[in-house]
């Protein structure tokens, strides 16, 4: 079942962001039963060539590969989709005009601006497959605006009305920064406003039939966090990054080591803070 089919069926989904670039981690997520992974190119150093290998790893383990591109750019979106990504997350979408531009990048003329080439992985390198795919690419892929600014939340109804937009992703971190978190920190007031914004996005999604993915602001107990998010109206949870979870596990092991050897014992240099 493709990502877009799960979105349209309003299936609850769980995913993880991939920052390490490790195909092993991609395969582990698929084997564990995750629905999708977000392959990030906005904050990481790996390029589109490596993305193709990560997409293959996801496909081989039944995991839907979704790529966050660096920015709203027609060529980046086209190249990502040609490589077989089932979805593209487009950052900093604040207006319906930007959402229309993102959607147009996935569709062929006259609906959009995507360049035609049947000799790509997405259409199995076959012209006859491309002909079916090209009639309505939105039956095959999802264009997912990243809602991460107070302006985007103010424009959420107009963004969700754009043809080709079946889902959005709410990013609480950048939203918090857009209302002052970089200066004030994630205070209770900012966290409260961020959750209110998420609920507003979810309410709009319910009204317009648009699926809402969201990232937790804190990686607390997964069952508690996901229960809260589903209660707020989220359908798909992107539960942090693989490197964050590695750090959490490493901290837990290091602290356990300290409790075993005692406070006065000398730690190896590699374990010292």
**How confident is the model at residue 13, as a pLDDT?**
98
**How confident is the model at residue 47, as a pLDDT?**
84
**How confident is the model at residue 271, as a pLDDT?**
47
Q: Are 170 and 10 in contact (CB under 8 A)?
A: no
**pLDDT tens-digit map of 3-18:** 999 999 999 999 999 9
Q: What's the mean per-residue pLDDT of the chain? A: 95
Look up the CATH number of the domain holding residue 73.
3.20.20.60
* pLDDT surpassing 60 at residue 233: yes
**Going along 129-207, which residue ranges are E strands?**
142-147, 167-170
**pLDDT tens-digit map of 55-82:** 999 999 999 999 999 999 999 999 999 9
pLDDT band for 269, please (50, 70, 90 cuts).
low
Q: Indicate the SS3 state at residue 212.
A: strand
Instruction: Count the Cβ atoms, other than its own, within 10 Å of residue 179.
Output: 16
Residues 235-255, mean pLDDT to the nearest whole number: 96
Separation of alpha carbons 136 and 242, rounded Å:
33
pTM (two decimals)? 0.93
Q: Residues near 91 by Cβ (< 8 Å), separated by ≥ 6?
A: 42, 68, 69, 70, 71, 72, 146, 148
**How confident is the model at residue 258, as a pLDDT?**
86
Instruction: Count the Cβ atoms, other than its own, within 10 Å of residue 80.
Output: 29
Give me the residues paired with residue 109 across strands: none
Separation of alpha carbons 64 and 87, rounded Å:
8
* pLDDT surpassing 60 at residue 1: yes
Copy the structure tokens of residue 259: 């409790």
Q: Which domain holds residue 58?
A: 3-271
Residue 235 CA: distances (Å) to CA of 12, 42, 46, 238? 5, 24, 29, 10
Q: For the CA atoms of the chain, what is the radius of gyration? A: 20
Domain count, the chain: 1
Which 8-state DSSP code applies to residue 268? Answer: P
Give the rounded percent of residues in the chain with a pLDDT score beyond 70.
96
Question: How many CA atoms lie within 13 Å of 197's alpha carbon, on the beta-carbon side?
Answer: 30
* pLDDT surpassing 60 at residue 33: yes
User: Exposure pattern of 228-237 as b/e (b: 16+ CB <10 Å)?
Assistant: ebeebbbbbb
Q: Residues near 121 by Cβ (< 8 Å), separated by ≥ 6?
A: 52, 55, 82, 83, 84
**pLDDT tens-digit map of 97-120:** 999 999 999 999 999 999 999 999
**Backbone phi and psi for residue 22, each to the nearest 5 degrees, phi listed first:** -85, 120
**pLDDT tens-digit map of 190-223:** 999 999 999 999 999 999 999 999 999 988 899 9
Copy the structure tokens of residue 197: 């914004």
* pLDDT surpassing 80 at residue 267: no
């Amino acid at each position: 079942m493709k990502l877009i089919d799960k979105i349209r069926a309003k299936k609850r989904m769980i995913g993880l962001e991939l920052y390490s670039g490790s195909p092993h981690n991609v395969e582990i997520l698929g084997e564990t039963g995750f629905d999708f992974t977000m392959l990030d190119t906005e904050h990481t150093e790996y390029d589109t060539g490596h993305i193709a290998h990560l997409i293959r790893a996801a496909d081989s383990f039944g995991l839907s590969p979704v790529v966050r591109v660096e920015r709203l750019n027609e060529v980046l979106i086209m190249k990502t989709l040609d490589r077989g990504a089932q979805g593209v997350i487009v950052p900093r979408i604040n207006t319906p005009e930007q959402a229309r531009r993102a959607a147009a990048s996935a569709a062929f003329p006259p609906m959009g601006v995507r360049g035609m080439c049947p000799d790509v992985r997405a259409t199995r390198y076959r012209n006859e497959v491309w002909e079916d795919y090209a009639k309505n690419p939105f039956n095959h892929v999802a264009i997912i605006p990243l809602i991460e600014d107070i302006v985007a939340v103010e424009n959420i109804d107009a963004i969700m009305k754009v043809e080709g937009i079946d889902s959005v992703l709410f990013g609480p971190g950048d939203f918090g920064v857009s209302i002052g978190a970089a200066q004030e920190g994630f205070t209770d007031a900012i966290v409260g406003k961020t959750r209110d914004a998420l609920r507003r996005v979810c309410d709009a999604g319910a009204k317009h039939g648009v699926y809402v993915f969201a990232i937790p602001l804190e990686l607390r107990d997964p069952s508690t966090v996901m229960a809260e998010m589903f209660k707020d109206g989220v359908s798909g949870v992107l539960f942090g990054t693989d490197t964050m979870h590695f750090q959490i596990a490493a901290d837990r092991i290091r602290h356990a080591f300290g409790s075993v050897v005692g406070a006065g014992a000398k730690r190896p240099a590699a374990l010292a803070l």
